[in-house]
Amino acid sequence: MLEGLKEGLGAKANTILSALSYQPTDPTVDSQLVSLKATGADTLFLFAYSKQVAQAIRKVAELGWKPDTYIHLGSAQIGSTLQPAGLENSVGVKTGGFIKDPTDPQWKDDPFIKDWFAWMKKRMPDANTADSMNISGYAYAQTLEHLLKQCGDDLTRENIMRQAASLKDYRNEALLPGSLINTSPTDYRVIEYIKIQRFTGKAWEFV
């Protein structure tokens, strides 16, 4: 992710003042946040797991530091990251979103999310619905189902690969409104629609 950020910044990559890593077994990331604040940086990117992102957001608040903060989508869940960080501490945090967060109140009446919760209650009652891997796995499975239906009775590897490279305007309702899946023999990327979102203290809002 750091390399992707540098590539995106291009000639401005030299404006990155510091980049610090951590081990998943580290008890906290407090020392890294203290060091990052000392650089005078006004923007903070957190490329980390939910636990460490929550710790970092809490520490930033404790330090009285107010950088423009971005977190990657894998940790951008209200239930598993922002609540442990403190919702009041998380106000203003941004992410690049492409999938609905089932813990976000803005989707509580969304037909897909309601159906998903019902499916989870019936099929996986002990699973944590705040864990983003559950909604993601469900969405991946729906896309695979669509692909296999598109294959018809020809389930050879060749046809599966051919159909995977020819998805046209497929709408997976787990994705944000407006997102369609299109692939081609020269473009295998499934997700190409991302919107910047900012946390209000209660929900994500599109920026």
The pLDDT tens digits for 19-34 are 999 998 999 999 999 9
Binned at pLDDT 50, 70 and 90, residue 132 comes out as: confident
Name the fold adopted by 2-98+194-206.
Answer: Rossmann fold (3.40.50)
* Predicted local distance difference test score (pLDDT) of residue 8: 95
Residue 96's beta-bridge partner residues? Answer: 196
State yes or no: pLDDT of 131 exceeds 90: no
Listed by start position, the domains of the chain span 2-98+194-206, 100-190
Amino acid at the residue 178: G
Token representation of residue 15: 């404006």
3 state SS of 62: helix
Strands 94-97 and 43-46: unpaired
The pLDDT tens digits for 64-119 are 999 999 999 889 989 889 999 999 999 999 999 999 999 899 999 999 999 999 99
State yes or no: pLDDT of 164 exceeds 90: yes
Mean pLDDT of the chain: 95
